[in-house]
Amino acid sequence: MRFDIVTLFPELFAPFLTAGVTRRAFESGQVEVKLWQLRDFAEGSYRRVDDRTFGGGPGMVMLAEPLARCVAVIRAERAGPQQAPEVPVALFTPAGRKLDHGAVEQWAAGSGAILICGRYEGIDQRFVDMYVTHQISLGDFVLSGGELAALALLDAVARLQPGVLHDAASSQFDSFNSALNGLLDSPHYTRPEMWRGASVPDVLLSGHHARIEHWRRERSLAITAAARPDLIAAARAAGQLTADDEAYLNAAENRKKGQARI
């Protein structure tokens, strides 16, 4: 798997690629990351990569030509002597599809992509129309550049690679994963058992695995129902909620209605 990152700020990536649990994926080349300084593909002594926006208005727009040249060099390098399949070209933009677990799983199972990090007001639309195959948003807010979005994608993809997390099973029990039927994770506690007057739920200290699992499932259902009812609806539509799950959700709903009446 190889990600080619096109950016005006390659230095933002280095600390991230050498720290934390995902470092192993990047250092071993399991997830190969190659950084491309867009300015190297610009013309003239100023190495200009942006210009004013046609039609007027504030801010600058990234030029299409340096981006196209950079992508051509990356494609040639990736293809090598053989004709390689077309590599996806993903642009980070608020106009893209919001990144979610399903999309991360797809990228994690693929062979990588060319990732374009925008800056300024964005990039010349003609480059988008001609080259970009995927548009990815990190959420409904505006960043100063696509680098943080690229880092978010790299991190999420790297931790799904086999052997990257210390405990291979741990990502499977994270929020949104199929082992949780796409629901949110339950709360976690660690030592000390009593912290500033707050105790750990007794069941977690009981050593009774079935009861602990039961408690975790109920907490997961409760948290998801409160924060993300859409995920409950999706699990229900996929037939992934058991009769016990439904009974718990019904009882919780009735309790809520009862409290509202008081």
Taking CA atoms, 158 is separated from 1, 31, 146, 165, in Å, by 10, 7, 18, 9
6 vs 225 by CB, closer to ligand SAM: 6
Query: Does residue number 46 form part of the binding site for ligand SAM (CB under 6 A)?
Result: no
Token pair listed for 169? 């099973």
Binding residues among 126-185 for ligand SAM as defined by CB under 6 A: 137-139, 141-146, 149
The distance of closest approach from Cβ of residue 205 to ligand SAM in the complex, given in angstroms and rounded to an integer, is: 42
39 vs 214 by CB, closer to ligand SAM: 39
Q: What are phi and psi of 81, to 5 degrees?
A: -70, -25
139 vs 201 by CB, closer to ligand SAM: 139
Binding residues among 57-86 for ligand SAM as defined by CB under 6 A: none
Query: Does residue number 92 form part of the binding site for ligand SAM (CB under 6 A)?
Result: yes
Contact region with ligand SAM (CB under 6 A), list: 77-85, 119-127, 168-176, 178-186? 119-127
122 vs 182 by CB, closer to ligand SAM: 122
Query: Does residue number 88 form part of the binding site for ligand SAM (CB under 6 A)?
Result: no
Catalytic residue among 65, 105, 174, 218: 174
94 catalytically annotated: yes
* Residue entry with tokens 């299409």: 64
Q: What are phi and psi of 195, to 5 degrees?
A: -130, 115
Catalytic residue among 119, 159, 216, 217: 159
155 catalytically annotated: no
User: Contact with ligand SAM (CB under 6 A): which of 65, 105, 121, 174?
Assistant: 121
40 catalytically annotated: no
18 vs 133 by CB, closer to ligand SAM: 133
121 catalytically annotated: yes
Residue nearest to ligand SAM (CB): 118
The distance of closest approach from Cβ of residue 121 to ligand SAM in the complex, given in angstroms and rounded to an integer, is: 4
Interacting residues toward ligand SAM by CB under 6 A: 92-94, 117-119, 121-122, 137-139, 141-146, 149
Catalytic positions are 94, 121, 159, 174
